[in-house]
Amino acid sequence: MRQGFLFLLFALVFGLAIATLPHPSRWLAAHLTAFLTGLILVVMALAWNEFRLTDRQRTVAYATGLIAAYGGLVGNVFGAIANLPGPASNPGVAPPMPQAALFYAILAIILPSLFVSFGLVLYGMRGATTGR
């Protein structure tokens, strides 16, 4: 649960960055993403003991969840600093290659870890076994 509240703190700091740093629309995206990530982490922490997972599955879900969360944080901060155009914020604009390559490398870490983490969480939410 600590990690979730840390992300909520990051979201508040990014809220200040919107007003003070260049590229406020990119910092707004980082602010909102950090806020939503923090809420997801807090909710997962509240339900953690209810998941029906083995110890190894819990460890993998926790590790990959944090890798995805912090990777997303790094990707958002990098995108705000480098002012990377996105498909929603600047449709049709191609990002510059050196920055885009680094961002895509970060994304290549985030996506698999996110799918593994949420897949294990969904698997852990399956119903109780019936005594047949």
pLDDT at 96: 86
pLDDT at 86: 79
Instruction: Give the burial class of 26: count Cβ atoms within 10 A of its Cβ; 0-12 exposed, 13-18 middle, 19 or more buried.
Output: buried
Write the pLDDT tens digit of every residue in 74-97. 999 999 999 888 777 788 888 888
Token digits of residue 34: 């950090």
Cα distances from 66 to residues 54, 58, 75, 111, 130, in angstroms, run: 18, 12, 14, 12, 33
Contacts 24+ apart (CB under 8 A), 21-26: 21/80, 22/83, 23/80, 23/81, 23/83, 25/89, 26/76, 26/79, 26/80, 26/83, 26/84, 26/89
pTM of the model: 0.88
- With bands split at pLDDT 50, 70 and 90, how would you rate the model's confidence at 7? very high
46 sits in which H/E element: helix 24-47
97 sits in which H/E element: helix 97-124
Write the pLDDT tens digit of every residue in 21-57. 999 999 999 999 999 999 999 999 999 999 999 999 9
